[in-house]
Amino acid sequence: MNIAILSGKGGTGKTTVATNLTMTLGVGYVDCDVEEPNGFIFLAPSIRKKDEVFAEYPIIDKNKCTLCGSCAKACQFHALAKAGKQIVVFEKLCHDCGACKIVCRADALAYTIRSVGKLEEGTVKGISCYRGILKVSEPMAVPVIKKLLKSLPKGDFFIDCPPGTSCNVVSTLRYADAAILVTEPSEFGLHDLKMAVELVKLYKVPYGIIINKDDNKENLVKVFCKNESISLLGTIPYSMEAAALYSKGIMLYENDRYKKIFKSIGNRIKEAFKWKLLC
């Protein structure tokens, strides 16, 4: 079972929840936040396998090109434009859809590849960890996320999602059997949580909410959960202790108080998603 951990708002604690639940339940971890994958900082697995990710983009044979401009008109992403006596290719905008090649009557288009990122696989205490890393300056994360999730073996995984509700999250959720939404009790946290809930509903998978940095009060997120009948899978208290551990890169799981909290959240998740661990 793949459980996606998303949030809407960034910085609510997706990685904190994903890495600590991974250690608590002894299941696999996948970091799909390929623009800034930080889960390995906490888990520190030893890397045993690396792979490269490539993206395709068109190249134009100037001898065959008639400068008709059909390819530029067909491209929905403006990766091709006609200027002067040439077709200019903006390779980073190419979504690799193939439309330009289909419309080219002069057969002047071919595709080539460039590296856009890499995949890493490692283990820590017998737990499998995977992550994708997007190359700096590359704007599109989806090819890296897709390859990462396609390469995943059957098993039980927490999938650490990118923030927001963009295509990066959409591509990740395609591989999710359940979802956990991590939020914080702030107006901004709730605002983006609502968007994340709308997105998750489209996938018809079971989901629940975890409140991080909880103030132990009947806060706006708890009211939202009640009103919308969304199950609250747990709360992680806001404390100086947690912040101090985090700042040193130490997992909250190492602390007895937080270990108990993650154990009870882990049990609640297994119940809520009727999840029977494979291993």
Partner 1 sequence: MKIVVSATGDKKESMLDRRFGRCVYFHIYDSEKDEYTVINNDGASEGGGAGIAAAGRIIDENVDIVITGKLGPNAYELLKKEGVKAYSCETVPVCKAIEFYQNNQLSEMKGAGRAHHKMR
Instruction: Quote the least distance from Cβ 124 to partner 1, whole Å.
Output: 37
Residue 139 in contact with partner 1, rule: CB under 8 A: yes
Q: Residues 6 or more apart from 205 whose CB is under 8 A from it?
A: 176, 177, 178, 179
Cβ atoms within 10 Å, residue 201: 11
Smallest gap from Cβ 274 to partner 1, in A, equals: 38
Residues 154, 185: contact at Cβ < 8 Å?
no
CB of 110 to partner 1, least distance (A): 21
Q: To 5 degrees, how large is the angle CA 10–CA 15–CA 216? A: 75
CB of 81 to partner 1, least distance (A): 5
Among 67, 68, 74, 93, binds partner 1 (CB under 8 A): 93
- 14, burial (CB in 10 Å: exposed 0-12, middle 13-18, buried 19+): buried
- Nearer Cβ to partner 1, position 28 or 143? 143
Strand order of the β-sheet with 127-134 is 46-60, 109-124, 127-134, 28-31, 157-160, 2-6, 178-183, 207-214, 232-237
Token pair for residue 69?
A: 């401009």
Q: Shortest approach of partner 1 to residue 171 CB, angstroms?
A: 15
DSSP one-letter code for 92: G
Name which of 222, 55, 230, 67 is nearest 145 in CA terms: 55
Candidates 73-81, 109-117, 218-226, 263-271; binding stretch for partner 1 (CB under 8 A)? 73-81
> Contact between 81 and partner 1 (CB under 8 A)?
yes
Which residues between 167 and 206 bind partner 1 (CB under 8 A)?
Answer: none
Q: Which of 278, 12, 23, 241 is nearest to 125 (CA)?
A: 23
What mask, x for binding partner 1 by CB under 8 A, covers residues 215 to 254?
A: ----------------------------------------
Residue 142 within binding range of partner 1, rule CB under 8 A: no
| Contact indicator for 113, 55 with CB cutoff of 8 Å | yes
Using an 8 Å Cβ cutoff, are 192 and 182 in contact? no
Q: State in angstroms the smallest separation of the CB of 127 from partner 1.
A: 37
Using CB under 8 A as the binding rule, whether residue 90 contacts partner 1 is answered as yes
Decide: is 126 part of the binding site for partner 1 (CB under 8 A). Answer: no
Of the residues 67, 77, 205, 272, which one makes contact with partner 1 according to CB under 8 A: 77
**4 DSSP 8-state letter:** E
Contact residue for partner 1 among 3, 27, 55, 79 (CB under 8 A): 79
Length of the chain: 279
For residue 259, the minimal CB distance to partner 1 (Å) is: 42
Smallest separation, CB 93 to partner 1 (Å): 5
**Interface residue with partner 1, options 64, 78, 174, 226 (CB under 8 A):** 78
Residues 151-170 contacting partner 1, CB under 8 A: none
Which residues sit at the interface with partner 1, rule CB under 8 A?
A: 72, 77-79, 81-84, 86, 88, 90, 93, 139
